Amino acid sequence: MRDRAPDFRWRLAVVSVLCASFAAGAAKPARVAHFEPDTDAAAAAALQGSTWVGGGGTWKVWIKQLDDEERLNFIERTTGLEIDPFAGRPDQPPAYHTVLLVLENQGSAGLSFNPQSCWLKTNRSEVLLPQGLADLSFNYRVTGRQLPVAYQAVQTALFERAVSIAPGERVSGLLVYDRVKIKTKRWNLGLRLVLPDGERAVFNAPFRRTDLKKKRTGKGS
C-alpha cells in the first residue's frame, strides 16, 4: 500500500504558505495620501501656521484642515458630546477630508454663505461637495440601517445648510468631503460668499500632497 504521508505533508505545506501570504497581504496597510497647504499655488491669502487666512473689506475667513482626532475634538467642544459620525474603523484609512471654516462679518450689512457652493476640486478635475448628516443617513439606508439618533446632535458642528452672518458676527463649522483618489496631487477648496449687494466673493485655499515637496527638495539637492 502506498504511503500517503509525504503527499499529505506537501499539501499541508502549500496551504500554510498560501495562508501566510494572504495574512501578510491582509495586514499590509492601505496607502493614504496626506495633504498640506500649497504655498506654491497662487492664492490671495496668507498662511498662518497651517491655516489659510484672508478676506475682503467687509469679511474675513480662516480655513484649516483637520485630522480625525482634531475633528472629534471640535465636535466635542461644540456639542459637548464625544461622537463622530465620520469616524472610520481603526484598521482602515481615513475616509474623509475635514476642513474647519471660520467666517467673520466685519461690515455693516449681512452676508450669506451656502456650503453647497464650497467645492473641493482636484487636479484630476474631480469636484466634491461637502457631506452632511442627510448624506450619511442615505448611506445607512442603502445598507438597510438607520442613522443613529445621537448623530443628529452633531449637526450644530457642521456647515450643512445656508447661513446668514450678521454684522459683527463670527461663525464656525466643519466641511467634510469624501477623500480624494490616491493619485491626486493637489486640491483646492473654493469658497463663495454672497455680499450685501448680491455680488459673490471668492476665496481659494490650495493644498498639495505632502510628498510632492519632498521629491522636489530631493531633486535640487
**pLDDT bucket at 202, cuts 50 / 70 / 90:** very high
Residue 11 lies in a domain: no
Could you tell me what percent of the chain has a pLDDT over 90? Answer: 63
- Which domain covers residue 107, as residue numbers? 35-220
Predicted structure pTM score: 0.81
Residue 210 lies in a domain: yes
Answer whether 207's CB lies under 8 Å from 47's CB. Answer: no
Higher pLDDT, 23 or 104: 104
Residue 10 lies in a domain: no
Residue 26 lies in a domain: no
Instruction: Provide the pLDDT for residue 160.
Output: 92
Residue 57 lies in a domain: yes
Is the pLDDT score of 51 beyond 60?
yes
**pLDDT bucket at 17, cuts 50 / 70 / 90:** very low
Three-class secondary structure assignment of 8-21: HHHHHHHHHHHHHH
Residue 134 lies in a domain: yes
Q: What is the DSSP string of 158-207?
A: B--S-EEE-TT-EEEEEEEEEPPPTT--EEEEEEEEE-TTSPEEEEEEEE
- Provide the CATH number for the domain around residue 179: 2.60.40.3340
Alpha-carbon 151 to chain mean position: 18
Instruction: Provide the pLDDT for residue 89.
Output: 83
Is the pLDDT score of 45 beyond 90?
no
Residue 14 lies in a domain: no
Count of structural domains within the chain: 1
Residue 16 lies in a domain: no
Instruction: Provide the pLDDT for residue 25.
Output: 46
